[in-house]
Chains A and B, each alone.
Chain A
Amino acid sequence: MSEEDTATAETRHLARYRGDYPIVVDGLVNRFGSQTVHEDLSLKVRRGEIIGVVGGSGTGKSVLMRSIIGLQHPSEGSIEVFGRSITDAEPDQNLGVRSRWGVLFQGGALFSTLTVGENVEVPLRQFYPDIEDELLHEIARYKVMLSGLPEEAVSKYPSELSGGMKKRAGLARALALDPELLFLDEPTAGLDPIGAAAFDRLTRELKETLGLTVFLITHDLDTLHEICDRVAVLADKQVIAVGTIEELLALDHPWIQEYFNGPRGRAALASKERSSMDKQPKAGA
């Protein structure tokens, strides 16, 4: 492809991804010094699903996410997002995929000198400088409200928000460009159970209305049961299993059994069964 072609490809709007697997990780190896975090790790994420990534502390869940979004150059292996190779690209090369994903970092990672509204406008200004301020402000306002924040939150600074509101503001910024792919790094960590459940519902709703594919790192068993279509388990430096929770439970791996059948796992399963029973009469009516 000549340089001219690439330039037009960048400026033209990008059609929605129609393939089956927006994220394909193949043979990923990540080493830090003598420590190997990932060894020949492979994972395919299906379009339109919420995939939950679980694993013990230090199994490299965040490293995997950072590798996929190009913040961490892996030692070996290939990663493709929307059919474009992340691993072959230069760190700052414009791949045309950055505008198609949104990332919510653990602490929200909001720019502390900007208001929530301005935070949402940053990616819009970066990728679409021709949008006038009037429309920009309107977009920022509805994105903030779409993320479940009250409208006054638009003009607040991140330091004036609670932890849960920061996460929602971070989500509003992640959704700023109407991404097709959303990365969430422990979105419910540090939230109270009510806030966490509300965030789960929001994620599900957004996924369904906007047609998102969601890559979700979590420790929260309730989140896994409530909203994840499939769960990928990271252990022994690899993705040892991918599937629905029922499929995973059928496997005989000690970590998976302990994770889902431990006291917390059983409690989450029980609450899931309760909530699905609650829903059934409504569905029938």
Chain B
Amino acid sequence: MSIGAEFSVEEREEGGTRVVLSGPWLVSTIGAIDQDLRALQGDYSTIDLTHIEEIDTVGAWTICALVRDHGGEIIGASDRAQRLINAVQGFTSQEPIQPEVLPIWQRVPALVGKEVVGWAKGTLDVIGFLGQIVMASGSLLLHPGRFRFRALVRQMELVGVSALGIVGLMSFLIGIVIAQQGAVQLQQFGAEALTVNLVGRITLRELGVLMTAIMVAGRSGSAFAAQIGTMKLTEEVDAMRTIGISPVEALVIPRILASVLMMPLLGFYSAVVAIIGGAVIADLTLGIPFFTFLTRIKEVVPLYDLYVGMIKAPVFGLIVALSGCYQGMQVQGNSEQVGLRTTMAVVQAIFAVIVLDAFFAVFFTEIGWG
């Protein structure tokens, strides 16, 4: 038994050319001779399949292509070969395997246009979404019995309580880094005692809330988008509507409220843990005793630093929850969308939080809370 597919071309005495195919003509053996077959020239009178040992549809297809390009009558085909050739011979097609791609000078403007239209539509959608939330809040105020208290508590647990570990660890490490790196720089002026001011003010004013918002965006904002998005895909949201439950009331409001309520708590907790982290490193490397550090905090950090942080926190919570829920509600079609929308929820939330934080910083300094 021969190993590969083979063919030979012979001139016949009575005129005409005969191609004799032999060996196994299978998907596993055709690859080796395909190029040689395509290189053949001229017309043939007969194609002899008598010596073909085994054949599958790929072999049959190749024989059909041979007949199509060079003519010739098939002889000596076994039952199976004939059946397979009959099955595949009608299927000639030049359809490209990949959809045609527009040339780049058409594609780029088209994409830009799509983006612009997408932005415009997105802006309108966001306004519409905000309107829905306002309406749902209004109707909840009128019918407080419809408020989903259990859902709110559940979301508060997910957003707040279960984030304590990771937010605490992150804040503790940030406190250590600020204190240690700050002390290195301040030592150059002999002012390492000011490390206390640095750690206390920066964590209460800025980093505690900002880092927590980023963490909540990553943990909860993404979860909101994925949960609501999956519920849209499985038509749970539609089912709610048909029963007369407003998805905004049932899904969005509890999540937004939970984030708005938990963010100040988490932000404060984060600042406290960061200060403890700073105190620990100060005790170990700067020779400032742990409790002295904490007492000094009380003296050097003005109370309005706390207010600044606590005013920003619920706003950040609102932004994170809004973008998560909004993106979740925008999911349509397939599971790929869930991933896409989840990513967008997190990216938008973090971006908006940082931009807003910059505005807040300027604003509070201007009103004298510097």
Instruction: Return the chain B residue nearest A132 by Cβ.
Output: B34
**Alpha-carbon separation in the docked complex, A185 to B27 (Å):** 25
Stretch at the interface among A12-20, A64-72, A242-250: A12-20
B27 touches A155 (CB 8 A): no
B6 to chain A: closest CB distance in Å? Answer: 13
Min C-beta distance of B27 to chain A, whole Å: 5
Q: How far is the CB of A226 from chain B (nearest CB, A)?
A: 20
Of A25-33, A137-145, A188-196, A264-272, the one with at least 4 CB within 8 A of chain B: A137-145
CA distance in complex: A112, B340 (Å): 15
Contact between chains at A141 and B93 (CB < 8 Å)? yes
Is B95 in contact with chain A by the CB < 8 A criterion?
yes
In contact, B97 and A142 (Cβ under 8 angstroms) = no
Residue of A nearest to B59 (CB): A178
The contact string, 1 if C-beta is below 8 Å from chain B, for chain A 208-251, is: 01110000000000000000000000000000000000000000
Known pairs A131-B30, A142-B61, A151-B93; A115 contacts B99 (CB<8 A) = yes
- Asked whether B31 lies within 8 Å of A112 as measured between CB atoms, the reply is no
Q: How far is the CB of A121 from chain B (nearest CB, A)?
A: 7
Residue of B nearest to A152 (CB): B95
Question: In angstroms, how far is the closest chain A Cβ from the Cβ of B225?
Answer: 20
Cβ-defined contact, B54 with A117, below 8 A? no
Verify if A135 is at the interface (C-beta below 8 Å from B). Answer: yes
When distances are taken between beta carbons in the complex, the residues of chain A under 8 Å from B93 are 141-142, 145, 151, 154
The segment from B81-89, B144-152, B177-185 found at the interface with A is B81-89
| Cβ of B96 under 8 Å from chain A | yes
Is A131 in contact with B34, judged by CB distance below 8 angstroms?
A: yes
Confirm or deny: B352 has a beta carbon within 8 angstroms of a beta carbon on chain A.
no
Answer yes or no: B26 CB below 8 A from chain A CBs: yes
- Cβ contacts under 8 Å, A255 to chain B: none
Cβ-defined contact, A13 with B26, below 8 A? yes
- Interchain residue pairs A-B with the least CB separation, the first 10: A117-B97, A178-B56, A131-B31, A142-B91, A13-B28, A130-B31, A145-B91, A151-B93, A141-B93, A209-B87
| A245 and B312 alpha carbons, distance in the complex (Å) | 72
Q: Does B173 contact A (CB under 8 A)?
A: no
CA distance A16 to B55 in the complex (A): 10
A111 at interface, CB cutoff 8 A: no
Verify if A156 is at the interface (C-beta below 8 Å from B): yes
Q: A131-B31, A141-B93 are in contact. Are A16 and B54 (CB under 8 A)?
A: yes
B4, B27, B34, B62: the one contacting A177 at CB < 8 Å is: B27
Q: When the two chains form their complex, are residues A154 and B91 in contact, meaning their CB atoms are under 8 A apart?
A: no
- Contacting A at CB under 8 A, from B73-110, are 80, 83-84, 86-88, 90-93, 95-100
Q: With A142-B61, A177-B27 known to touch, is A159 a contact of B334 (CB < 8 Å)? A: yes
Answer whether A141 and B31 are a contact pair too, CB < 8 Å, given A146-B57, A178-B58: no
Question: A90-121 vs B: 1/0 string, CB under 8 Å?
Answer: 00000000010000000000001001011001
Is B27 touching A124 in the complex (CB atoms < 8 A)? yes
Interface residues of B (CB under 8 A from A): 3-4, 24, 26-32, 34-35, 38, 54, 56-58, 61-62, 65, 80, 83-84, 86-88, 90-93, 95-100, 333-334, 336
A209 touches B83 (CB 8 A): yes
A117 to B88, CA, bound (A): 16
Looking at B26, B29, B65, B333, the one whose CB has the most chain A CB atoms below 10 A away is B26
- 11 A-B pairs whose Cβ atoms sit less than 8 Å apart in the complex: A13-B29, A14-B28, A130-B31, A132-B31, A137-B97, A138-B65, A139-B61, A142-B93, A146-B57, A177-B27, A178-B26
The one of B28, B38, B91, B100 in contact with A146, judged by C-beta atoms closer than 8 angstroms, is B91
A159 to B334 Cα, complex, angstroms: 8
Q: Which residues of A contact B35 (CB under 8 A)?
A: 132
Give the distance to chain A from B282, nearest Cβ to Cβ, in Å: 52
Closest beta carbon of chain A to B29's beta carbon, Å: 5
Q: How far is the CB of A107 from chain B (nearest CB, A)?
A: 11
CB-nearest residue of chain B to A119: B97
Of the candidates A14, A145, A155, which one forms a contact with B97 in the assembled complex, judged by CB atoms under 8 Å apart? A155
Question: In the complex, are the beta carbons of B54 and A15 less than 8 A apart?
Answer: yes
Contact (Cβ within 8 A) B57 A142? yes
User: In the complex, what distance in Å separates the CA atom of A138 from the CA atom of B93?
Assistant: 8
**Interchain nearest-CB distance for B318 vs A (Å):** 35
Q: Which residues of B contact A152 (CB under 8 A)?
A: 95
Q: Is the CB of B88 within 8 A of A146?
A: yes
Which residues of chain A come closer than 8 Å to B28, judged between CB atoms? 13-14, 99, 127-128
Query: Whose C-beta in chain B lies nearest to the C-beta of A115?
Result: B98
In the complex formed, the residue of A with least CB distance to B3 is A12
- With A128-B27, A134-B38, A178-B58: A118-B3 Cβ-Cβ less than 8 Å: no
Residues of A within 8 A of B61 (CB): 138-139, 142
Q: What is the CB-to-nearest-CB distance from B62 to chain A, in angstroms, rounded to a whole number?
A: 8
Closest residue of chain B to A158, judged by CB?
A: B334
